[in-house]
Amino acid sequence: MNTQAQASAEPILRAQALTRVFGEGVTRVEACAGVDLELRQGELLVIKGRSGSGKTTLLNMLAAVDRPTGGSVTLGDVELSSAPEEELVRVRRDRIGFVFQGFGLIPVLSAAENVELPLRLQRMPAAEREDRVARLLADVGLAEHAGQRPPEMSGGQQQRVGIARALATDPDVLFADEPTGQLDSMTAAVIMDLLVELVRKRGMAAVVTTHDPAMAERASLVLELHDGRVVSRHAGAAVG
C-alpha cells in the first residue's frame, strides 16, 4: 500500500483515445469518444457531466467492467482492452474496488459478511479476514453494526458497508459510480467526505462520477463529458 508521500510518478491508470460505440447504423451511439487521461496513486479523478454524457461508460471501461471499441486503457501493467477474460477477472478481484449507486449489498448477509466476501474470494485465512473486517467496519464508523443486515440499515449506513467492502482487498484503484445518488443531500455530503478521507489516507487512486459540484473541489483532476467527449479538463483544488 502506498502512502501519499510515496506517490509514484508512474500512472496507475492510463487511457488513450478511449472510445466506446454502442449499436450500428441509425442506433449507433458514440458513448465515449477519444478520452485521454492519466491517474497516479493518491489522486482523485472526478468525472462529471449531464445524464447520458458517458460517465458510466467511461468508468466501466477504466474499471475492467466493459471493453472499449477503440483506444487503450492500462491499469498498472495490464492492458485491459486486449487482456484475456481470466486476467480481467483477476484485476477486478485483486486490484479494483467498486462502490455502486445502489450499494450492491447482499441483503441476507450481515454487514460483516458483506465486507468479508471479497476476502473469501481471495482465499484469505479466516483469522486474518476477521481482523480485516473489524478494522474496515471501524474505519467506516460501523463497529457497532457488524451483525446487522442491509435491510435493517439506513441508506448512509449501507453505503458505508459498500465502501468498506470496496476497500477490503486494499485495491490499487477505487471506482465509484454516483455513490451518493440514492442518498439525501446531507447524508451524501458525509459519505463523500468519508470516501475521500479513506482514499487519501490509503494513498490510493480513485475515480468518482458525480453530479455533485462540491466533489470537484476535492479532486486532483475533473473531467467534464458531453456526448462522450471531454469538454473541460481542469485540476481540482486538491492537486495531489
Ligand X SMILES: Nc1ncnc2c1ncn2[C@@H]1O[C@H](COP(=O)(O)OP(=O)(O)OP(=O)(O)O)[C@@H](O)[C@H]1O
Q: Which residues bind Mg ion (CB under 5 A)?
A: 55-56
- Which of 51/185 has CB closer to ligand X? 51
22 binds, among Mg ion, ligand X, none (CB under 5 to 8 A by kind): ligand X
> How is the beta sheet containing 29-39 ordered, strand by strand?
29-39, 13-22, 70-75, 78-79
Nine cell digits for residue 170? 486494499
185 binds, among Mg ion, ligand X, none (CB under 5 to 8 A by kind): none
162 binds, among ligand X, Mg ion, none (CB under 5 to 8 A by kind): none
DSSP β-bridge partners for residue 46: 208, 222
CA dist 14 to 38, 95, 96, 133, 161, Å? Answer: 4, 15, 14, 31, 29
54 binds, among ligand X, Mg ion, none (CB under 5 to 8 A by kind): ligand X
- Which of 140/176 has CB closer to ligand X? 176
Longest dimension (CA), the chain: 56
- Which of 124/207 has CB closer to ligand X? 207
> Based on the number of CB atoms within 10 Å of its own CB, is 141 exposed (0-12), middle (13-18) or buried (19 or more)?
middle
- Which of 61/133 has CB closer to Mg ion? 61
- Which of 2/182 has CB closer to Mg ion? 182
- Please give the residues from 175 up to 234 whose contact with ligand X meets the rule CB under 6 A: none
Distance (Å, whole) CA 12 – CA 205: 8
Q: Output the smallest distance, CB 56 to ligand X, in A.
A: 3
- Which of 112/188 has CB closer to ligand X? 188
Helices (H), 168-231: 185-202, 213-216
Q: Identify whether the C-beta of residue 148 lies closer than 8 Å to the C-beta of residue 70.
A: no
The piece of 9-17, 22-30, 90-98, 212-220 that touches ligand X (CB under 6 A) is 22-30
Would you give the binding string for ligand X spanning residues 28-67, x where CB under 6 A is met? -x-x-----------------x-xxxxxxx----------
Q: Identify whether the C-beta of residue 18 lies closer than 8 Å to the C-beta of residue 32.
A: yes
52 binds, among ligand X, Mg ion, none (CB under 5 to 8 A by kind): ligand X
Q: Output the smallest distance, CB 62 to Mg ion, in A.
A: 13
Distance (Å, whole) CA 47 – CA 211: 9
Q: Output the smallest distance, CB 56 to Mg ion, in A.
A: 3
Distance (Å, whole) CA 195 – CA 44: 11
| Binding site residues, ligand X, CB under 6 A | 22-23, 29, 31, 49, 51-57
